[in-house]
């Protein structure tokens, strides 16, 4: 966002892009269709199912080029334009091809104060690409994210719309990237809800026993 305030330019999407997914692959299996129709049946109008159907499509095709959005719209029976509007609204829907692992590094308030930008820049340096870019080997895309709702364990990042990695520090980032290179995606660790805190001895982490850093929260190198 910081860059956007200084350079507030909004680009046009390509209005006539080349099709990237060939027609013969551009189909849902009968199970997928069934699944989508079940979702459709859960809502009073079919457009209620658009988000889950887009999600399913993104998992299948790894991203959502226009032809996939069109396929989803046709499958649930809503106008293509509506599905396209929804897909562009959410940054978690990838409109272009990304790396195998998308690292969403939070740089919103809490994370920023606790060193979110340090983490972002550390990863950028380490992988040799800027945010918004994908490494040459196609393994990683780095992105800057707004608050992902885990401020309690700031700074943090999210891996490909999935697991959170909390309380980032350099060592943790090193270990994470190594693990991801080996194809090991960390397990999802949730954030404890306030009402469960007592049970957890005042901790907000389900994995508190395995996390050293929580006891001594990481402090940004620039904040001391």
User: Which residues lie near another protein (CB under 8 A)?
Assistant: 4-17, 66, 69-70, 79-82, 84-85, 88-90
Other Cβ atoms less than 10 A from the Cβ of 31: the count is 8
Distance CA 107, CA 65 (A): 27
Judged by beta carbon distances under 5 to 8 A according to partner kind, the member of another protein, ligand FES, none in contact with residue 54 is none
Q: Which of residues 58 and 167 has its CB atom nearest to ligand FES in the complex?
A: 167
Q: Which of residues 57 and 106 has its CB atom nearest to ligand FES in the complex?
A: 106
Distance CA 131, CA 25 (A): 31
What the block records as the tokens of 151 is: 């401020």
Q: Which of residues 43 and 89 has its CB atom nearest to another protein in the complex?
A: 89
What the block records as the tokens of 60 is: 């299948």
Q: How far is the CB of 17 from another protein (least distance, A)?
A: 6
> 149: closest CA among 119, 93, 104?
104
H-only helix segments in 114-214: 116-127, 170-181
Judged by beta carbon distances under 5 to 8 A according to partner kind, the member of ligand FES, another protein, none in contact with residue 108 is ligand FES
Judged by beta carbon distances under 5 to 8 A according to partner kind, the member of ligand FES, another protein, none in contact with residue 84 is another protein
Backbone angles phi, psi at 143, to 5 degrees: -135, 155
Q: How far is the CB of 106 from ligand FES (least distance, A)?
A: 3
Q: How far is the CB of 154 from another protein (least distance, A)?
A: 23
End-to-end CA distance of the chain: 25
Judged by beta carbon distances under 5 to 8 A according to partner kind, the member of another protein, ligand FES, none in contact with residue 14 is another protein
> 146: closest CA among 111, 191, 173?
111
What the block records as the tokens of 22 is: 């060939």
Maximum Cα interatomic distance, the chain, rounded to a whole number of Å? 57
Q: Which of residues 70 and 100 has its CB atom nearest to another protein in the complex?
A: 70
Q: How far is the CB of 27 from another protein (least distance, A)?
A: 19
Q: Which of residues 12 and 215 has its CB atom nearest to another protein in the complex?
A: 12
Q: Which of residues 10 and 215 has its CB atom nearest to another protein in the complex?
A: 10
Binding site for ligand FES (CB under 6 A): 106, 108-111, 147-151, 154, 156
């Amino acid at each position: 966002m910081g860059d956007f305030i200084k350079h507030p330019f909004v680009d046009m999407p390509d209005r006539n892009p080349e099709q990237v997914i060939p027609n013969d692959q551009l189909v849902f299996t009968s199970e997928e269709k069934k699944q989508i129709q079940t979702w459709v049946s859960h809502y009073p109008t079919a457009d209620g199912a658009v988000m889950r159907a887009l999600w399913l499509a993104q998992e299948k095709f790894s991203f959502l080029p226009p032809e996939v959005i069109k396929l989803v719209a046709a499958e649930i029976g809503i106008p293509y334009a509506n599905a396209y509007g929804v897909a562009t609204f959410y940054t978690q829907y990838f409109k272009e091809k990304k790396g195998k692992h998308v690292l969403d590094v939070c740089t919103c308030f809490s994370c920023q104060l606790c060193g979110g930008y340090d983490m972002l820049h550390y990863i950028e340096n380490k992988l040799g690409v800027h945010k918004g870019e994908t490494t040459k080997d196609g393994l990683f895309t780095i992105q800057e994210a707004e608050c992902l709702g885990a401020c309690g364990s700031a700074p943090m990042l999210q891996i490909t719309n999935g697991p959170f990695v909390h309380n980032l520090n350099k060592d943790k980032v090193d270990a994470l990237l190594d693990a991801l290179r080996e194809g090991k995606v960390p397990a999802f660790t949730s954030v404890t809800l306030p009402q469960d805190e007592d049970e957890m001895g005042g901790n907000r982490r389900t994995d508190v026993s395995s996390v050293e850093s929580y006891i001594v929260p990481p402090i940004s190198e620039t904040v001391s």
